[in-house]
């Protein structure tokens, strides 16, 4: 895998996933921090000009640095649940192919202390490049389980005691009426199409986020963030009780 951008490369270095770094010779302090960290970990560094970095980043905004990284560790759905401290909190991607949305959700999942995400191995955005950049480096820290079939993955989650909550604009229950203190997987669908029929049918509950304005839907990464931090709020309140 190849990633680019200062924050993604820094986080990948901290996660000890980087195998090589290419960096521009300009004297940026943040790039200097990457060089120091790479040297500490014994990672080979090559100087490259802007045109070379543009080519390696395939036109992405690289901020003067590109890195080769190891493929992420492979997890199963059961691994994510077993590795959770307390009640599991997961996000399930249903056919989300836009790398910017994938990266944004990974960033929020990391910020919310989510225990991992589940996504389909086919028809899914790659986790390098634009997705890694949009995640601000969170892609190096969030555990990802890749599955063949999302509907079957929801059944597997139920089998290990996790409630599945699908976000759907037409659901009668509001997102803040759901008990997120239980082990929960929040299921989010693609922009425009939402949850696929079989996935929707497999969810234990469906929940909506009420709209007060003229636009009747939210970007999927925003919807995921609202639900995740409602779960964080409920769990924090329960600990205080």
The pTM assigned to this predicted structure is 0.89
236 and 132 together in one domain: yes
DSSP 174: B
91 and 59 together in one domain: no
120 and 6 together in one domain: no
The three-class DSSP label of residue 4 is: strand
Helices then strands (H, E): number in the chain? 9, 10
90 and 195 together in one domain: yes
| Number of domains forming the structure of the chain | 2
Residue by residue, pLDDT tens for the chain (241 residues) are 899 899 999 989 998 889 999 998 776 788 888 999 999 999 999 998 888 898 888 888 898 899 999 887 889 999 999 999 999 999 999 989 899 999 999 999 999 999 999 999 887 778 888 889 899 889 999 999 999 999 999 999 999 999 999 999 999 999 999 999 999 999 999 888 899 999 999 999 999 999 888 777 789 999 999 999 999 999 999 887 6
Which of 44, 69, 94 corresponds to the end of one domain? 69
pLDDT at res. 143: 96
43 and 146 together in one domain: no
- What is the domain range of residue 172? 77-240
CATH number for the domain harbouring residue 17: 3.30.1330.30
pLDDT at res. 119: 95
CATH number for the domain harbouring residue 188: 3.40.1280.10
Which of 69, 96, 119 corresponds to the end of one domain? 69
pLDDT at res. 27: 65
Nearest CA-CA partner of 74 in 116, 108, 103: 116
What tokens appear for 130 in the block?
């634009």
Residue entry with tokens 């890195």: 67
């Amino acid at each position: 895998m190849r990633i680019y951008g200062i924050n993604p490369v820094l986080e990948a270095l901290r996660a000890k996933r980087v195998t090589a770094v290419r960096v521009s010779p300009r004297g940026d302090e943040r790039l200097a921090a990457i060089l120091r960290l790479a040297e500490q970990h014994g990672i080979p560094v090559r100087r490259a000009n802007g045109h070379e970095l543009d080519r390696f980043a395939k036109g992405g905004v690289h901020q003067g640095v590109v890195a080769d990284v190891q493929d992420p560790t492979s997890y199963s759905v059961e691994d994510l649940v077993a590795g959770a401290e307390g009640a599991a909190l997961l996000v399930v991607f249903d056919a989300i192919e836009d790398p910017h949305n994938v990266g944004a959700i990974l960033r929020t999942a990391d910020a919310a202390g989510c225990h991992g995400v589940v996504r389909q191995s086919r028809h899914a955005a790659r986790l390098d490049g634009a997705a890694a950049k949009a995640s601000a480096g969170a892609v190096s820290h969030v555990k990802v389980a890749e599955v063949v079939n999302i509907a079957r993955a929801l059944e597997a989650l139920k089998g290990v005691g996790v409630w599945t909550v699908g976000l759907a604009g037409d659901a009668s229950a509001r997102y803040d009426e759901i008990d997120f203190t239980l082990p929960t997987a929040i299921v989010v669908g693609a922009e425009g199409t939402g949850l696929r029929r079989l996935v929707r049918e497999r969810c234990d509950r469906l929940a909506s986020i009420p709209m007060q304005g003229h636009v009747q839907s939210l970007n999927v990464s925003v919807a995921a963030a609202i639900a995740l931090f409602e779960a964080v709020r409920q769990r924090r309140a329960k600990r205080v009780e």
